[in-house]
Amino acid sequence: MDKEELAQDILEFLGNRENIEENTTCMTRLRVKVFDFSKVNVSELKKVDGVLGVVCNGNLVQIVLGAGKVDRIGKNFSELTKLSLNESRSNDNKKVDIKNEDIKKILIKNKKNFENNRKFQLFFQKIANIFVPLLPAIIAAGLLQGATNTIDIVSSNFQTIWWYQLLKTISWISFTYLPVFVGINATKEFGGTSILGGIIGALFVQNENMPILKNIGNIGKVILPIVNKNFYVGAGGLFSALLIGFFVVFVEKNVRKIMPDILSKILTPVFTLIICGIIAIFVILPLGEIITNILFLFLNFIYNKTGIISGFVISACFLPLVSMGLHQALIPIHILLNDPLGATKGINYFMPIIITAGGGQVGAGVALYVKTKNKKLKKILKDTIPAGILGMGEPLMYGVTLPLKKPFVTACLGSGFGGIAAVMLHLGTITQGVSGLLALLIVIPGSQLLFLLAMFFSYLGGFVLTYFWGVDEGKICEIYGEVGK
């Protein structure tokens, strides 16, 4: 099936173009927000050739397509929906006249099914919408930082070379000015004017050229009222920028309500920036710093005090998060840990634990391949295991381990042993965005062999547990057909 046909089939089972509110892509998934979930045929969507899995959260449908492929399909899908990626279609004028009582009952039932989890799901979805678009730059900046750090270890003679300093500058800009981009995306996600969020987000960038940070003659820096001290960005820039997005939208909407139409275009942004600027330095910035410090203390306690237990639990629980699409809510935490100016000096000690989760699934896949006699399953495993080794585990998850259930459980438990090894070996990464053996590119320079050792334990754990306790030939035949087929 070519990409045009695949996009057309996906659109059909999502309720066609008029049911699509928004479409976007992440690293492996086409993420579609629909107006009416009752029009989505999930069972048929899962059967579409090329669809690896479907995850539903409220009115958000995530279609797993795989890395690389998702960008091509996303482009075709957006052409069919007449919506560019990240663009929303208003549903304000859409009138639905429901006369059939059975349809009413279905809609009421669907509403009840989603009501309890809706706020929880929407929260994580908004976090993902804010941070996922930033990932390409963060990944690139992290890799550049790793490259220049490696050069520093080898020789100090590059300090005066222009291209070396350019690479360091690009990496520095990406992390230093991240609050600006977070402010823009957060304000846009909450429904405000994105550039206003970016301007206020810039307050959370430590730049000595900012007038509020400059020394004034012999007086020194400006003293802020109430707190009676100098303005200082501190450690809470990222979370402060996330929080300010909500306040910019709230203030902008309320100022616009009371502002005369003839003056609104000019004065609404002015008053929004002034009010939000005051809120930012006196409320949001201190609050963001408190949240950041608490998070660092919590993560430090988990890593240093509960050590191998946390390593096992975090690694074992990560695949279920991926299966529900909730793993992207962890992106801001990883960004914080990879910030070179942060408490960890840019080293993320939790990412290697999470990466080993995929190793357990690869081990489970190999065990199934060795033990099963089902030819169809063997063929699927032959195609999906190599992708899993390179960190693209969703084909293996949605095509094999999740449908069979037992291998998914044994894969999760097996990966826990890799998580233990990652903690004991004190592994860390300098960025995020790649997994599997490709993570050799992002681990701390010089620790590649130790990382391979941790992955080996993850592979081995998943293999052993699945080989002895995770293979159910009856279930395999039920899903993939008879043994010889």
Residues marked as catalytic: 26
Residue in this structure with the two tokens 């993320």, named with its chain if needed: 348
Please answer whether residues 24 and 86 qualify as being in contact, where contact means their C-beta atoms are separated by less than 8 angstroms.
Answer: yes
Report the relative pairing of strands 223-224 and 53-57 from DSSP bridges: unpaired
Residue type, 284: I
**22, 88 Cβ separation under 8 angstroms:** yes
Q: Is residue 483 within 8 Å of residue 374, measured between CB atoms?
A: yes
Backbone angles phi, psi at 421, to 5 degrees: -65, -40
Cβ atoms 192, 184 nearer than 8 A: no
Nearest alpha carbon to residue 328 among 57, 90, 105, 81 = 57
Quick check: 326 and 124 in contact, CB under 8 A?
A: yes
SS3 426: coil
Q: Quick check: 331 and 131 in contact, CB under 8 A? A: yes
CA–CA dist 323, 332 (Å, integer) = 19
- The CB-side HSE value for 103 (13 A sphere, CA atoms) comes to 9
* HSE-up of residue 45 (Cα within 13 Å, Cβ side): 23
Kind and range of the H or E element at 327? none
Structure tokens at 152: 């520093």
59 is written with which tokens?
Answer: 């009115």
Does residue 388 contact residue 396 with C-beta atoms inside 8 Å? yes
Is residue 83 within 8 A of residue 23, CB to CB? The reply is: yes
C-alpha distance from residue 365 to each of 297, 356, 359, 439, 480 (Å)? 37, 15, 10, 20, 15
Angle, to 10 degrees, between the axis of helix 162-176 and the axis of helix 178-190?
40
CB atoms within 10 A of CB 448: 14
Measured distance CA(97)–CA(108) in Å, rounded: 15
Structure tokens at 448: 């590649």
- Cα separation of 138 and 143, whole Å? 9
113 CA to centre of own chain: 25
Q: Which amino acid is at 257?
A: K
372, 378, 362, 397: which is closest to 474 by C-alpha?
372
CA-to-CA distance for 60 and 29, rounded, in angstroms? 12
